[in-house]
Amino acid sequence: MSGMRTLGEFIVEKQADFPHASGDLSSLLSSIRLAAKIVNREINKAGLADIIGAVGTDNVQGEAQQKLDLYANEKFKAALEARDQVCGVASEEEDEAVAFNKALNQDAKYVVLMDPLDGSSNIDVNVAIGTIFSIYRRVSPIGTPPVEADFLQPGHKQVAAGYVIYGSSTMLVYTTGHGVNGFTYDPSLGTFCLSHENMMIPKKGTIYSINEGNYIRFPLGVKKYIKYCQENEPQDQRPYTSRYIGSLVADFHRNLLKGGIYLYPSTLSHPEGKLRLLYECNPMAFLIEQAGGLASDGQRRILDLVPTELHQRTPFFVGSSEMVNKVEEYLETYPDQ
Ligand code: P6P
């Protein structure tokens, strides 16, 4: 196929963007690529295997774990530990951060935070789900086990971030701070091929993604924004449309391609919002800013938030810059009484 560039070739080629690169990040990204292929294979045959159905245990979020959650968590941890670039991993499926104790891992300079399978309630209804990952340089000394501070860094310190979307086709989308690139998996070749180079989100869009079932519990500013979308007839655009899949990765990916905004505000049941700052919001915020969009908690830039605990939540507004700015205006104009 003329001009086909595989993810592997792209990772090595882009290593040149980092003059001091030792190849460690390239190798780390390759281990994520491998785990994505393994998880993708299981997801695509989940309907056939006995893998469907909750496994009976609950994770730290108190959510019933689907078997595929556990499977994805184990496969990504194993792939990351097998290479010598990662000293530890934090995961939505792990109560505490996991330190890799092999000496070679303790000499590693990166930590990874991940949601191994986001949207897990969508697994057994054949709706797109995804893996989200976030990579930092450790702040603790090389040669020692990682400490909590390695995982509680503000999002603007990320070295790389990305997601895998297991949808009608499987894609891996990532950034190392030099733009966003998307790779589509070709199962007949077993390779990810560059399909979306230098992805940029349109500055404005007409898609808004929010769970309107929570409407009465939203902050007033969010209610006002939803009404603005429903009553506003944009002159130079199609009318607004509501699209909500229930998988952050799928809603985010569609909005990245077409323009739009995803909103998960604080609600009465989730006063801090539902989404996790470290392994859902920060990586998506890095990606959207690299693609020319914005990510906010309603008042502040997500990437500037200083984390205090591994599984902390935050309200999350992410997508086209004009749309995120509009929501922030409404939240400022109508602060919750
Ligand atoms: P709700 C999935 O559990 C998730 O973390 C995101 O992927 C998704 O956008 C959101 O929660 C769905 O939450 O409350 O609307 O079901």
Q: Is 9 annotated as a binding residue?
A: no
Regarding the beta carbon of 211 and ligand 1, being less than 6 Å apart is answered yes
Q: What is the pLDDT of residue 266?
A: 93
Can you tell me which atom of ligand 1 is nearest the CA of 280? Answer: 5
Provide the 3-class DSSP secondary structure of residue 73. Answer: helix
Is 225 labelled as part of a ligand binding site?
no
In a domain, 89, yes or no: yes
The answer to whether the annotation marks 262 as part of a ligand binding site is yes
Domain boundary among 131, 164, 196: 196
Q: 275 in helix, strand or coil?
A: coil
Single-letter residue type at 152: L
Indicate whether 126 pLDDT > 90.
no
Residue range(s) defining the domain that contains residue 285: 207-333
Look-up of token digits 């990765």: 249
CA atoms within 13 A on the CB side of 176: 16
Q: Are residues 14 and 97 in the same domain?
A: yes
Q: Which residues pair with 301 in a beta bridge?
A: 296
Closest-CA residue to 98 (of 118, 83, 78, 117)? 78
**Exposed / middle / buried, residue 141 (Cβ in 10 Å: 0-12, 13-18, 19+):** exposed
Q: Is residue 202 part of a domain?
A: no
| DSSP secondary structure letter of residue 301 | B
What is the greatest pairwise CA distance in the chain? Answer: 62
Please give the pLDDT value at position 58.
66
Is 60 found in the same domain as 167? yes
* Neighbouring residues of 9: CB distance < 8 A, sequence distance ≥ 6: none
Question: Which of 16-20, 71-75, 77-81, 225-229 bottoms out in mean pLDDT, i.e. has the lowest?
Answer: 16-20
In one letter, which amino acid is 231? E
Distance 248 CA to ligand 1 centre (A): 6
Q: How large a percentage of the chain has pLDDT more than 70?
A: 93
- For the Cβ of 248 lying below 6 angstroms from any atom of ligand 1, the answer is yes
Please state, rounded to an integer, the average pLDDT across all residues of the chain.
92
Is 180 found in the same domain as 286?
A: no
Percent of the chain with pLDDT over 90: 77
Among the listed residues 124, 94, 97, the one whose alpha carbon sits nearest the alpha carbon of residue 112: 97
pLDDT in tens, 244-300: 999 999 999 999 999 999 999 998 888 899 999 999 999 999 999 999 999 999 999
Q: Indicate whether 44 pLDDT > 90.
A: no
**For strand 160-166 and strand 110-118, is the pairing parallel, antiparallel, or unpaired?**
unpaired
- Choosing from 114, 247, 249 the residue with most ligand 1 atoms within 8 A of its CB, the one to mutate for a pocket test is 247
Which ligand 1 atom is at minimum distance from the Cα of 63? 3
- Which band of pLDDT confidence, cut at 50, 70 and 90, is reported for residue 232? confident
Does 149 score more than 80 pLDDT? yes
| CATH number for position 112 | 3.30.540.10
Domain end position, chosen among 162, 196, 230: 196
Q: What is the pLDDT of residue 95?
A: 97
Judgement on whether residues 192 and 262 belong to the same structural domain of the protein: no
| Closest approach atom of ligand 1 to CA 130 | 7
Q: Is 274 annotated as a binding residue?
A: yes
Q: What pLDDT does 1 receive?
A: 46
Same domain, 112 and 19: yes
Q: Are 283 and 221 in the same domain?
A: yes
Number of structural domains the chain divides into: 2
Question: In this structure, which residue's CA is closest to atom 14 in ligand 1?
Answer: 211
pLDDT value at position 30? 93
User: Residue 245 contacts by C-beta under 8 Å, 6 or more apart in sequence?
Assistant: 119, 122, 127, 128, 209, 251, 254
Same domain as 266, residue 171: no
- How far apart (Å, rounded) are the C-alpha atoms in residues 222 and 225? 5
Query: Which protein residue's CA is at the shortest distance from atom 15 of ligand 1?
Result: 211
CA–centroid distance, residue 317 to ligand 1 (Å): 13
Evaluate whether residue 2 is within a structural domain.
no
- 277 and 173 together in one domain: no
Which of 123, 210, 248, 251 to mutate to test ligand 1, by most ligand atoms within 8 A of the CB atom?
A: 248
Domain boundary residue, one of 176, 196, 216: 196
What is the Å distance from ligand 1's center to 97 Cα?
23
pLDDT band at 45 (very low <50, low <70, confident <90, very high): confident
The secondary element (H helix, E strand) that includes residue 208 is: strand 207-209
Q: How many angstroms separate the CA atoms of 273 and 275, rounded?
A: 6
pLDDT digits (tens, 9 = 90+) for 152-205: 999 999 999 999 999 999 999 999 999 999 999 999 999 999 999 999 999 999
Question: Is the same domain home to 185 and 38?
Answer: yes
Please tell me if the CB atom of residue 274 comes closer than 6 angstroms to any atom of ligand 1. yes
Residue-level pLDDT at 236: 76
The CA R_g of the chain, rounded to the nearest whole Å, is: 19
Q: What is the pLDDT of residue 55?
A: 63
Establish if 259 belongs to a structural domain. Answer: yes
- Tell me, what's the pLDDT at 49? 52
- Average pLDDT estimate for 9-26: 84
> Residue 275 CA: which ligand 1 atom is closest?
5
* In the predicted structure, residue 50 carries a pLDDT above the cut 70: no
Give residues with Cβ within 8 angstroms of 104, minimum separation 6. 84
pTM for the whole structure: 0.94
**Which atom of ligand 1 is found nearest the CA of 249?**
7
Top mutation candidate among 61, 211, 267, 279 for ligand 1, by most atoms within 8 Å of CB: 211
The confidence score (pLDDT) of residue 2 equals 52
Do 145 and 175 belong together in one domain? yes
Read off the CATH number of the domain in which 226 is found: 3.40.190.80
> 49 and 164, same structural domain?
yes
In this structure, are 145 and 186 located in the same domain?
yes
Output DSSP code: residue 52.
-
Banded pLDDT at 65 (limits 50, 70, 90): low
What pLDDT is stored for residue 47 in this prediction? 60
How far is ligand 1, taken at its centre, from the CA of residue 108, in Å? 33
Helix, strand, coil: what percent of the chain each, to 5? 35, 25, 40
SS3 call for 316: strand
- Burial, 20: exposed, middle or buried (Cβ in 10 Å; 0-12, 13-18, 19+)? exposed
- Structural domain contains residue 201: no
Ligand 1 pocket residue status of 247, Cβ below 6 Å: yes
